[in-house]
Amino acid sequence: MRKRLTDYRHAVWDWNGTLLDDTWLCCDSLNQLLQEDGHPLVDPIRYRQIFQFPVIKVYQAIGFTPDETSFRAMSVRFMAAYEARKSECQLHPHARELLTGLSAAGLTHSVLSAYERSLLLTTLQDYALSHHFIKTCGGSDIHAGSKEERARVHLHDLGLDPDHVVYVGDTAHDAESAQAMGVDCVLVAHGHQHRDRLQGLGVRVVDGFAELLAELG
User: For residue 162, what is the enclosing H or E element?
Assistant: none
Any idea which fold 5-21+90-216 has? Answer: Rossmann fold (3.40.50)
Question: Residue 139: what pLDDT?
Answer: 83
Q: What is the dihedral of CA 166, 169, 172, 178, to 10 degrees?
A: -30
pLDDT per residue rounded down to tens, the chain (217 residues): 678 999 999 999 999 999 999 999 999 999 999 999 888 999 999 999 999 988 888 988 888 877 778 888 988 999 999 999 999 999 999 999 999 999 999 999 999 998 999 999 999 999 999 999 999 998 875 544 568 888 999 999 999 999 999 999 999 999 999 999 999 999 999 999 999 999 999 999 999 999 999 988 7
Q: Would you say 19 and 91 are in contact if contact means Cβ atoms under 8 Å apart?
A: yes
Q: Would you say 175 and 201 are in contact if contact means Cβ atoms under 8 Å apart?
A: yes
Question: Residue 1: what pLDDT?
Answer: 66
**CA 6 – CA 52 distance, rounded (Å):** 30
**CA 80 – CA 94 distance, rounded (Å):** 29
Q: Give the CA angle between residues 191, 53, 117 to the nearest 5°.
A: 80
- Where are the strands (E) in the chain, listed by range? 10-13, 20-21, 90-91, 108-116, 133-139, 165-169, 184-188, 204-206
Q: Would you say 188 and 206 are in contact if contact means Cβ atoms under 8 Å apart?
A: yes
Question: Residue 144: what pLDDT?
Answer: 47
Nearest one of 86, 159, 74, 133 to 66, comparing CA atoms: 74
Question: Residue 146: what pLDDT?
Answer: 63
- Helix, strand, coil shares of the chain, percent, nearest 5, are 50, 20, 30
Question: Residue 143: what pLDDT?
Answer: 46
